[in-house]
Amino acid sequence: MNQAPSTDSVRCLRSAVHTRVMRMRMQPRSVHRSSACGASRLLVVLGLLTVLMLLQAAAAQAEDRDLILGGTVRTYRLFVPESLAPGEPPPLLLALHGRGGTGGSMADLTGFDELARRQGVIVAYPDGLGREWNYLVGVGGNQGVDDVLFLEELVRDVDRLHRIDASRVFVAGFSNGGFMAQRLACQAGSPISAFGVVAAAGFGGMPGLCGQPAPISMLLIHGTADTVVPWGGGTAVVEGREVLLSASAADTFAFWADSTGCSGGASRSDLPQTGRSPGTSVVKLRADSCREGHRVVLYAVLNGGHNWPGSSRAAVAGPVNRDIDATELIWQFFRETASSSGGTPPSD
């Protein structure tokens, strides 16, 4: 990249000091020199544009941060776009990866960084210890890693850095991260405003853990052909007895609708197919008559697998639907939730 100036570049610089008359009196061979000069100028301009673009991108580069909780170092990736509105507290989105993933892999899967640039939102990508989340903390005497504490402290850490809007803190989770998002939704006094869950469901022990949670807004996206977190739920035999691992998608939707005081059944709509996802389609279910300012929605991806719909990345498991974009749907849901609950919706 750092090369010495070419002969043509030197000639270009020299010719720049000549007068217009002198250039007109040059021999015909100077035409070739002038052409080379023009090419050199073009290369210089393109180089400057590249540098400017790199400098602009550097202003929004992600930062790796550490937190120490109980002697354990916890990490997360923080993306702060240059498009934040001056003087306006920005919203914060936590994006929780699936089992085996990392904060960086969640950024790649979802494309939330690009959305953050357009919408002016800070995105935090936490790392689960051992690349997973302990959403069962407090269930059946589980006293393992307290990821609830970690994520709450993460929100406080970002607030200390950037003075975020406390009324616009959101969580999106995929698979194991989606289970963790629902664990946060059960937490009394949670600072989270709304939740987006992809390829995850209610978990064993969740009703008892949640009790009667405060009304929340919950968006669920689930594939009917998901073999990792089955649409119809999953169980396992532990010490001779059957234990619920995950509730069905329908029961999960009903649980959050009931918890949020939605009493009017559900409305169904079939989303248009774009032709980009042969063999799959999407049905939207919206709980009706919920408490003011709250919504519960389920997108059922018919024949869809264990994936993040709309992602340009390789499929995690099974068919990927691209009639919808989970990243855009979740953000639209968060925006509308902030608006309906009296908060300030993020700027377009």
Q: What is the pLDDT of residue 112?
A: 97
22, 29, 59, 245, 345 from 329: Cα distances, Å: 64, 62, 27, 27, 15
Which strand (E) or helix (H) includes residue 145? none
Residue 265 Cα to chain centre, angstroms: 30
Contact, 244 vs 235, CB < 8 A? yes
Instruction: Provide the phi-psi class of 170: left if phi over 0, else alpha when psi is between -120 and 50, else beta.
Output: beta
One-letter amino acid of 33: R
pLDDT per residue as tens digits for the range 97-129: 999 999 999 999 999 999 999 999 999 999 999
Residue with tokens 């953050």: 116
In the chain, the amino acid numbered 43 is L
Which residues does the chain have with pLDDT short of 50? 1-34, 37, 45, 50-59, 345-348
Give the Cα separation of 317 and 228 in Å (integer): 8
Tokens, residue 322: 């691209």
**Residue-level pLDDT at 62:** 84
What confidence tens digit (pLDDT) does each residue in 22-69 have? 343 334 444 344 455 455 565 554 555 544 444 444 445 789 999 999
Residue 126 CB-density burial (10 A; 0-12 exposed, 13-18 middle, 19+ buried): buried
Per-residue model confidence (pLDDT) at position 17: 32
Phi, psi of 93 (to 5 degrees): -120, 125
> Which residue bears the tokens 């003011």?
292
In the prediction, which pLDDT does 247 show? 97
User: How high is the pLDDT of residue 211?
Assistant: 80
So what's the pLDDT on residue 164?
Answer: 96
CA 256/CA 253 separation, integer angstroms: 6
Task: Using alpha carbons only, give the angle 146, 149, 153 rounded to the nearest 5 degrees.
Answer: 145
d(CA 41, CA 39): 5
Q: For residue 330, report the phi and psi dihedrals to the nearest 5 degrees.
A: -65, -45
Both tokens of 346, joined, read 């993020």
